[in-house]
Structure 1
Amino acid sequence: MIDIIMLNDTNETVCATTLVTSKEMFEWNTSHISSKLLLATASVLTCLTFCLFLESFKYMTSKVPFGARRGYLAWLIGIYPVFSATSLTGIYIPRASILANWCANIYLAVCIYAFLMLTVNYFGGVMVMVERLKDTKIRLNRPPLACCCLCLPNIILTEVHFHRIRIAVLQVCVIRPLVLFIAAVLWADGIYVQAQISKDSAFVYLNTVSLISTLIAVYSLSILHKASVEPLKGYLIKSKFISMKIVMLTTNIQNLVLAFLSRFGVIECSTHFSSEVRANILYNYLVVFETFFMLFIGRLILSQWKDIRCNPVDTLSMASSGLPPNIFDLDINDAARRNYISLLKSVSMMDETVVKTACENSRIVKTLETDV
């Protein structure tokens, strides 16, 4: 792919210094067979990504009832077509690349928080999660930041610890979009140049801040994820976390790596494109290809999803282990949820007929909620 994108006349020594317009980009692509095929492939893959997203969303809605959980999952699945579409926009219109990346990172910021809230939703709320994990020791020496810090103690999850984790995750939802907004402002003033590596380059400092923020968020999520893998193993939480981590890291690290390759002449310039523009175009192509294959693999994993919403046997099994049946899918307050859990743990509720009735409708819970 690099060879195709880096086609240029080796006899030329004059490099382009300005961003090309969409018209110039289209004329250049149509005049080169290899670039035309590559652009057509990227366009087709983006369309397939959207089709696969719609099919995955339809499948997901058949397994998850209407509510907060369905919304969280829809945000997570949508991360692939959003990044694919914004990257394709950056290929067709290089001057809009910063704006497209800004939109994609705002969406990613929402998805990061949605994943955290999805984990809480699977447990049935913060109070339930703390109760379930009260005897679980959580290691702080987790990658990608503290895997070598063996001196860090193990902790028991409390509400205070959870809120600290949430703050550490929320910071990336603010910092990443803010960094890209500053980049767009500086670019408009001619100060910011994508993929430019130098001591005076705003690109280096802004992307470093973004990368550090992302690593802190991944580290915080990995702490909670590790403790949640076993209790939530029936919800494919590990696969969801891995997909989120890949998107978060590749969108940052990949961009920096290509910038360094551009800086040291691995990605050469031409009369039409500077080396920085070529690095950015290559980055957008990679994202389009990667998001399609990531969503395709994710769809294969999603096909293993079993519908356990109203299975009395699974419900009894979950209730006996302290996991409240069907309570994840109900939009109720914490007080009603605690009352429901205590009822489920009582002997009188450990009856298959009663549990099946509770699974088919929420009259018990609604009664509890009105009494609270």
Structure 2
Amino acid sequence: MEELNGTIDPSCLQEPPLAADVINQLDVFGIILYSVLTVMSVVSLVLYLEECVYVYRKVPSPKKTTIIWVNGAAPVIASMSCLGMWIPRATMFTDMTSNSYFAIVVYKFLILILQELGGDEAVLKNSGNKTLNISTGPCCCCCPCLPRVRVTRRIIFLLKLGSLQYALLKPILSIFSIILWANGNFDLSDLEITGAAIWINPFIGVLTIISLWPVAIMFMNMCTSLRSQRIIPKYAMYQLVLVLSQLQSAIISILSLDGTIACSPPFSSIARGSMLSQQLMIVEMFIVTLVTRLLYRRTYEPIDLNPCDADNGQITKMIPISVSTEENTA
């Protein structure tokens, strides 16, 4: 635009538009698009609430609480994305809410794996002298020389702590970022060394990588044992939400910052990139919600820990116990 007439549309340099401005500029296609995306986010939330009722009634404690937390990732992100789509100036708040919730989900997924194994005490009781392979992503996938570690109470505590730090620090840093933003000191487009964003965001990235490592360790060592509990597709959905909510959003943000995503009044480049990210997220999280519903809304069979079935350093072999299937008719 600058090359065509030597000027830049003033709206391309302004803050994101108000919700009323977004509604007023919608054409027929825009109205249909926004309506369909809103319905998707509402359906995701309704399906999640219905699933919460089912899990609360059919799954014993404390696993049901963990499942409810883990299942909420996609519906919460979809709901926050819908709010950010309709109210562009609230995008920072909705994104930080989604990311803070997912930080808790990372820790809860680790707890879910342990609960599927019967809990900490059951893992310690049946581990014997078995060891864990810690040469996994995202930290040490290229370090096969790392020694295996014995399964002890201390190791389990450190794994939990590695994921818990992100669940605690991410919301704190989000609140701190919002405070700085309100004071005019936090701007995602400010990449100067004196800007707050250039320091806070990489630090959050490091915390994210550290928190994902314990989950990857537990999954890589237990995926065979927990195959009957559908842990592999569950982990795949968890990873998919991670990639879509973190990596995809970061890529779109970078493209909007360098102007690859063009300004489209009343949206600036950054606001338009954020809008596109929100719309994509709603569709993607809607699909993830449907898939996770199939994985988690089911009868959970108890498992027996058989310490005699150790295979190549695996802690244990999980053997489902036949139980009554009367819950399947509920």
What TM-score results when the alignment is normalised by the length of structure 1? 0.74
Pick which of 134-143 and 40-49 moved more: 134-143
**Cα distance in 2 between the residues matched to 1:22 and 1:91:** 9
Shift of 1:61: 4.7
- Give the aligned partner of residue 272 of structure 2: 278
* Same amino acid, percent of matched pairs: 22
Matched, 1:68 2:62: yes
Quick one: higher RCO (CA 8 Å, sep 6+), 1 or 2? Answer: 2
Say which SS state the counterpart of residue 41 (structure 1) adopts. helix
- Give the aligned partner of residue 111 of structure 2: 117
Code of the residue aligned with 2:33 in structure 1: it is L
Unaligned runs of 5+ in 1: 1-9, 310-314, 324-351, 357-372
- Give the aligned partner of residue 212 of structure 1: 206
Code of the residue aligned with 2:17 in structure 1: it is V
1:52 to 9, 28, 47: 47
- Give the aligned partner of residue 173 of structure 2: 179
Shift of 1:293: 1.0
Matches within 5 A, 1:221-232: 221-232=215-226
Shift of 1:233: 2.2
Shift of 1:152: 1.1
Shift of 1:92: 0.9
Matched, 1:131 2:125: yes
> Per-residue displacement from partner, 1:267-296 (whole Å, max 9, x unpaired)?
112442221111221221122111111112
> Is the contact between residue 87 and residue 100 of structure 1 (CA under 8 Å) also seen in structure 2?
yes
Pick which of 73-82 and 125-134 moved more: 125-134
Matched, 1:159 2:156: no
Shift of 1:196: 5.4
Shift in CA distance, 92/253, structure 1 to aligned 2, threshold 3 Å? same
**Cα distance in 1 between the residues matched to 2:188 and 2:28:** 27
Runs of 4 or more off by more than 6 Å in structure 1? none
- Give the aligned partner of residue 19 of structure 1: 16
Unaligned runs of 5+ in 2: 310-320, 324-330
> Is the contact between residue 126 and residue 305 of structure 2 (CA under 8 Å) also seen in structure 1?
no
Shift of 1:172: 0.6
Code of the residue aligned with 1:84 in structure 2: it is A
Shift of 1:307: 4.4
Shift in CA distance, 50/271, structure 1 to aligned 2, threshold 3 Å? closer
Shift in CA distance, 17/199, structure 1 to aligned 2, threshold 3 Å? farther
**Cα distance in 2 between the residues matched to 1:190 and 1:25:** 24
- Give the aligned partner of residue 312 of structure 2: none
Shift of 1:33: 3.0
> Is the contact between residue 262 and residue 276 of structure 1 (CA under 8 Å) also seen in structure 2?
yes
- Give the aligned partner of residue 43 of structure 1: 38
Matched, 1:147 2:147: no
1:79 to 43, 55, 73: 73
Say which SS state the counterpart of residue 251 (structure 1) adopts. helix
Shift of 1:319: 5.8
Q: How many pairs are equivalent?
A: 308
- Give the aligned partner of residue 262 of structure 2: 268
**Cα distance in 2 between the residues matched to 1:200 and 1:294:** 39
Structure 1 vs Structure 2 CA RMSD: 2.9
- Give the aligned partner of residue 237 of structure 2: 243
> Per-residue displacement from partner, 1:183-220 (whole Å, max 9, x unpaired)?
21122122323455555543343222222211111111
Larger Rg: 1
Shift of 1:22: 1.6
> Is the contact between residue 17 and residue 89 of structure 2 (CA under 8 Å) also seen in structure 1?
yes
